[in-house]
Amino acid sequence: MTNPRVPLMLAGAAAAAVCMAAGPGPAAASEGSGGQADLAQDLTNPIANLVTIPIQANYDQDIGLADRGSKLAVNIQPVIPFDVNEDWNLITRTIAPIVYQDDIFPGEGSQFGLGDINLTMFFSPKQPTAGGLTWGVGPVMVLPTATDSLIGGKKWGAGPAAIGLVLKGPWTVGVLANHVWSFAGDSDRPDINNTFLQPFAAYTWPSAWTASVQTETSYNWETEDWSVPVNVALSRLVMIGPLPVSLQGGVGYWLQSPDTGPEGVRFRLQANFVLPR
């Protein structure tokens, strides 16, 4: 059986190779005190008027009743803004997870495939409020796209989503929230009734380095279970050819999770590609 840590080791080696190949780059060195730092801070705003493709790998462990399972989820997360009119944008944020998990369900071995896709659409004013608040509201949807029944919930879900944040000096502070109810799907599977809260804070230096901390807290109203990981990360904006890319590494810790949920330390790697509009 494949060691579940092998994919994580390969991902880490690939990220290290990219970092060494890219280095800070001439553009990063020359523009770090200006445009590079500004762009690095813009990337801390989940509803910035930028076309980006974050690719994020998360590794969790000690999953399942026997605490022997592990999961590597690579989330492909394109963010695409659309002009609605002179005053408003529509920001689409999609999360398409590709999952490898092992020894989570007794006797089922490992699973690999596409998970359920999460799609959020924020209607957001193009200009912040007088107090500097940037905000957005809209719907969130869960699509039952999982290629394996042990990876996805086999339910259609939808609900409201909102985000608010302030950029002040080098700081970005805000919170993203949504709630999803299931409304269709396999009647033999558990209903979805989940609240998600993601408070976050980030600090960007003139050198285009950014440190961030966040939680990705969720509450399952059906089972009355909390899932509370706290994540810290360090990222650097570099140039790979003509393309700005934010490379990030981070660790987290599960403060609370269900009996069958992950425990202990988690690991995260991310590359966020900025594309021209």
DSSP string, 92-126: EEEEEEEEEEESSSTT--EEEEE--EEEEEEEEES
* pTM of the model as a whole: 0.87
Band (pLDDT 50/70/90 cuts) for residue 34 is low
The residue assigned the tokens 């990030």 is 248
DSSP reduced 3-state for 146: coil
Burial class (CB in 10 A: 0-12, 13-18, 19+), 70: buried
Sequence-distant (6+) residues with CB within 8 A of 204 are 37, 40, 41, 44, 170, 172, 210
Q: Are 251 and 234 in contact (CB under 8 A)?
A: no
Band (pLDDT 50/70/90 cuts) for residue 65 is confident
Q: Are 40 and 254 in contact (CB under 8 A)?
A: no
Report the pLDDT value the prediction gives residue 25, as an integer from 0 to 100: 41
Whole-angstrom Cα distance, residue 248 to residue 234?
Answer: 6
Q: What is the mean pLDDT of residues 126-148?
A: 95
Angle in degrees, CA 249, 272, 121, rounded to 5: 120
Q: What is the mean pLDDT of residues 42-70?
A: 95
Band (pLDDT 50/70/90 cuts) for residue 6 is very low
Whole-angstrom Cα distance, residue 276 to residue 53?
Answer: 11
How far is CA 51 from its chain centroid?
15
Question: What single-letter DSSP state applies at residue 184?
Answer: E
Domains of the chain: residue spans and CATH: 5-275 (2.40.160.40)
Report the pLDDT value the prediction gives residue 276, as an integer from 0 to 100: 86
Whether residue 57 has pLDDT greater than 60: yes
CA atoms within 13 Å, Cβ hemisphere of 184: 6
Q: Are 179 and 160 in contact (CB under 8 A)?
A: yes
Band (pLDDT 50/70/90 cuts) for residue 270 is very high
Report the pLDDT value the prediction gives residue 4, as an integer from 0 to 100: 44
**Single-letter code of the amino acid located at 224:** E
Q: Are 138 and 158 in contact (CB under 8 A)?
A: no
Question: What single-letter DSSP state applies at residue 50?
Answer: -
What average pLDDT does the chain have? Answer: 89
For the stretch 202-245, pLDDT in tens is 999 999 999 999 999 999 999 999 999 999 999 999 999 999 99
Q: What is the mean pLDDT of residues 86-111?
A: 95
φ, ψ of residue 235 in degrees (nearest 5): -135, 160
State the DSSP H helix or E strand holding residue 211, giving kind and residue range, or none if neither. Answer: strand 209-215
Report the pLDDT value the prediction gives residue 19, as an integer from 0 to 100: 46
Choose among 46, 39, 54, 91: nearest CA to 198.
Answer: 46
Angle in degrees, CA 243, 247, 252, rounded to 5: 155
Whole-angstrom Cα distance, residue 150 to residue 112?
Answer: 9
